[in-house]
């Protein structure tokens, strides 16, 4: 199997919405072999340059001590005393699915 075929399978697995282990079982692929392919694909991936989203300040229905972030279908409200590490993690996940 060549590099492009392995990369296509890794992409198919990631797009499937299944866990890698479950996907491998349905395809008859050894899970440890898939992990090697995925690791190689990750190493060869070019970093994606950071992009900034357009932000529009709008009158919101939030309490005065809250910030509301809207991006497409997502709305995230951040209040006083929020955990910045948790917010960063949530934004990374939202960014990966948007």
- Alpha-carbon distance 60 to 55, whole Å? 13
Residue 17 backbone zone (phi > 0: left; psi -120 to 50: alpha; other: beta): left
**How far is it, in rounded angstroms, from Cα 69 to Cα 79?**
11
With beta carbons less than 8 A apart as the criterion, state whether 68 and 77 touch.
yes
What are the domain boundaries of the chain?
3-44, 49-98
Q: Is 60's pLDDT higher than 60?
A: no
Write out pLDDT tens, residues 8-54: 999 999 999 999 999 999 999 999 999 999 988 888 876 667 677 77
Angle 15-20-26 (CA atoms, 0-180°, nearest 5)? 90
């Amino acid at each position: 199997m060549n590099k492009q075929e392995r990369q296509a399978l890794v992409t198919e697995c990631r797009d499937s919405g299944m866990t890698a282990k479950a996907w491998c079982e349905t395809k008859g692929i050894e899970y440890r072999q898939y992990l090697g392919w995925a690791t190689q694909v990750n190493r060869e991936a070019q970093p994606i340059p950071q992009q900034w989203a357009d932000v529009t300040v709008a009158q919101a229905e939030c309490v005065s001590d809250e910030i509301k972030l809207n991006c497409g279908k997502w709305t995230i409200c951040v209040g006083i005393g929020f955990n910045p590490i948790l917010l960063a993690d949530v934004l990374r996940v939202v960014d990966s699915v948007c």
